[in-house]
Amino acid sequence: MSIEVFNRYEKKYFVTADQLPYVRERISEYMYLDEHNKDDQMYTICNIYYDTPNNDIVTRSIQRPEYKEKLRLRSYGTPSLDDKVFIEIKKKYEGLVNKRRSTILLKDAYDFIDTGKIGEMKPFMNRQILEEIGYMLSIHEIVPAMFLAYDRLAYFDKSDDDFRLTFDANIRTRRDDLRLEHGSRGSLLLDKDTYIMEIKAINAVPLWFAKLLSDFRLYPISFSKYGTRFLKEIAQ
């Protein structure tokens, strides 16, 4: 069974394509690659972000409030309507990220978000989380706002299950055709040689990783994929 509730701190860093092989070589002593990265290949994550018609959720998010939340659908690769995906509500308060998600069939997820009604429960669905999302749908007018996909390398610490590291690249977005089953095409958000390295940890990062950050002069950044695309749009 997949994990449905996450509580952790997350920090992001820019890593260049030139730096990446050396960073990966350093971390390989302490971390192992996610099983989804078969043959050392990146896997694709696809998302639909939801917002109000006036973009209230992303507008609030980029103002960096103490508390913010977002709603999204997520799949690993391009799903069919009968495939399982995740519906997620992600909250952040004073730097601590709480992510709650339920597995759901893609066609049922669309119906749920459109109507606010959960429909027939299936064994892999989490009613408590779906009811929480249903409440959010009842108090806001929520519509599909943006498709966002990227390719990922993911690592887990060999000695600490609570420390995870990911590298995201080829971030692409679109504002039309907001369906997960329609493929991962989109406009590139960043230069193709830029990677987003993100740490996900419950406690302090290991000392070896702190030294890696220092050696490569990697500094934390404030970066939101959805927020960055939105800011680019309003700047045009």
**Could you read off the pLDDT of 149-188 as tens digits, one per residue?**
999 999 999 998 889 999 999 999 999 999 999 999 999 9
Model's pTM, two decimal places? 0.93
Q: Which two tokens stand for residue 150?
A: 């990227």
How far apart are alpha carbons 145 and 139 in whole angstroms?
17
Residue 1: predicted pLDDT: 46
Confidence of residue 66 (pLDDT cuts 50, 70, 90): confident
What is the pLDDT at residue 204?
Answer: 86
If one counts every other C-beta atom within 10 angstroms of the C-beta of residue 13, the result is 18
Distance CA 236, CA 231 (A): 9
Mean pLDDT of 11-36: 96
For the beta carbon of residue 138, count every other beta carbon within 10 angstroms. Answer: 9
Q: For residue 109, give both structure tokens.
A: 């997820």
pLDDT value for 2: 59
Min mean pLDDT across 41-45, 59-63, 94-98, 122-126 is at 94-98
Q: Is 119 left (phi over 0), alpha (psi -120 to 50) or beta?
A: left
Contact 200, 166 (CB under 8 A): yes
Task: Answer for the pair 146, 173: CB distance below 8 angstroms, yes or no.
Answer: yes
Q: Mean of the pLDDT values across residues 194-212? A: 94
On average, the pLDDT of the chain sits at 93
Domains of the chain, CATH where assigned: 5-235 (3.20.100.30)
Average pLDDT of the segment spanning 11-17: 97
